[in-house]
Amino acid sequence: MNVMDSGESGRPLLTRILRQARARRVTADVPGFNDLYGAKLAHGITQQQTARLAGVSRRWYGNLEAGRPKNYSDAFLYAVRRILDLDDDEWSIVYGITRGRAPNAIRSGPSAHRPSPALLSLVEQSPTWGIYLSNHRWDLLACNKKVQEYFPWMSDGVNVVEWVLTSPEARIQLIDWRESWALPSMAALRVHAEKWPYDERLQEIIEKVRLDPTARQMWNDADLPTVTYPVSSSPRRLYLPQYGGKEFLVRILVLEPLELPSCRLVALAPAEMVYSE
């Protein structure tokens, strides 16, 4: 079952993406803003300003942001993307929901190519940092011994996002679990649910996550962030019980293999080894 059909229409996600995009925009970076409103530096632009820059009425843009079905032109949608600087994930969702369709690769799910032996070797034989490779469903494809020292459950092939969002162990080991770990993971899960609505394995994982009351409440949160990957500039804290319960500060680096663009190669690096702030 597509969980977005059971009381979750997807439109709140579109609204959240556009509102957050407007809020983060710096006026000096918005094409044409200074010509219309004069040179000034501020964070956030209004619906009225967005509409005027896109060449439509405030009501027409407001319909889009509210997720109301209308005959929006591609020219208008692309103008909104340019004005709000939507990234690829945000654009795929906004366009797909608004136009009632999305590129085939997004709707049907990525092809299930196996990692090449070279890629598997890179992951499994990396000796320094904890590294793992997962697909768009967060199923583990490969991991090295170091990351299994950090997270012994990885050796059993447990789904990553399911562990983060539902495991009691995760809520202890991952410091500031809700804000630093769970909410970003849930936001990514919501985005992937929009991108691959017919992926049965992904829907199975979502159903399992939603069985947990705390996770289900987060799933329904109207103010989830829209980022779909960890930001390496923001370190996160965790306990590693096998190291005497010491608190560690790590940066999570996420890479996308060109040969498997729907997958993620994730490295957990000690924060001080990446760079000093």
pLDDT tens digits along 13-29: 889 999 999 999 998 88
Q: Please report which confidence band the pLDDT of residue 11 belongs to, taking 50, 70 and 90 as the band edges.
A: low
161 in any annotated domain: yes
Domain edge (last residue) among 102, 131, 163: 102
Same domain, 126 and 88: no
How far is residue 173's CA from residue 175's CA, in Å, rounded to a whole number?
6
> What pLDDT score does 206 carry?
93
> What pLDDT score does 229 carry?
67
Burial of 147 per CB tally in 10 Å (0-12, 13-18, 19+): buried
Crossing angle of helices 11-24 and 88-99, in 10° steps, is: 140
Q: Half-sphere exposure of residue 139, counting CA atoms within 13 Å on the CB side?
A: 13
SS3 of 197-241: CCCHHHHHHHHHHHCCHHHHHHHCCCCCCCCCCCCCCCCEEEEEH
Residue 85 has pLDDT above 80, yes or no: yes
The parent domain of residue 221 ranges over: 117-274
Q: How many domains does the structure of the chain reveal?
A: 2
75 in any annotated domain: yes
Same domain, 144 and 42: no
> What pLDDT score does 20 carry?
92
- CA neighbor of 88 nearest in space, from 216, 256, 205, 272: 256
- CA neighbor of 222 nearest in space, from 59, 67, 46, 78: 67
Same domain, 146 and 203: yes
Q: Average the pLDDT over each of 2-16, 120-134, 243-257 and give the range with the smallest value.
A: 2-16
Same domain, 126 and 29: no
Question: Is the CB of residue 82 less than 8 Å from the CB of residue 111?
Answer: no
CATH code for the domain of 248: 3.30.450.180
How far is residue 195's CA from residue 215's CA, in Å, rounded to a whole number?
20
112 in any annotated domain: no
110 in any annotated domain: no
Among 85-89, 105-109, 153-157, 183-187, name the most confident range: 183-187
Same domain, 122 and 209: yes
For residue range 188-199, what is the model confidence (pLDDT) as tens digits?
998 888 778 778
Indicate if the alpha-carbon torsion angle 80, 81, 84, 89 is positive or negative.
Answer: positive
235 in any annotated domain: yes
How far is residue 91's CA from residue 120's CA, in Å, rounded to a whole number?
31
Q: List all residues 6 or more positions away from 54 whose beta carbon is below 8 Å from its beta carbon.
A: 61, 76, 79, 80, 83
> What pLDDT score does 8 carry?
39
Same domain, 153 and 208: yes
111 in any annotated domain: no
How far is residue 266's CA from residue 135's CA, in Å, rounded to a whole number?
11
CATH code for the domain of 86: 1.10.260.40
Same domain, 210 and 76: no
Domain edge (last residue) among 52, 78, 102: 102
Same domain, 121 and 15: no
> What pLDDT score does 258 carry?
87
For residue range 149-160, what is the model confidence (pLDDT) as tens digits?
889 888 888 899
Same domain, 187 and 88: no
Residue 74 has pLDDT above 90, yes or no: no
Whole-number mean pLDDT of the chain? 84
56 in any annotated domain: yes
108 in any annotated domain: no
Residue 4 has pLDDT above 60, yes or no: no
CA dihedral 219, 101, 81, 191 (to 10 degrees): 20
The model carries a pTM of: 0.63
Domain edge (last residue) among 79, 102, 125: 102
Indicate if the alpha-carbon torsion angle 30, 31, 35, 37 is positive or negative.
Answer: negative
Q: Please report which confidence band the pLDDT of residue 112 belongs to, taking 50, 70 and 90 as the band edges.
A: low
**Region for residue 240 given its phi and psi (left: phi exceeds 0; alpha: psi -120 to 50; beta: otherwise):** beta
Same domain, 150 and 82: no
Same domain, 29 and 124: no
Q: Please report which confidence band the pLDDT of residue 104 belongs to, taking 50, 70 and 90 as the band edges.
A: very low
Same domain, 142 and 255: yes
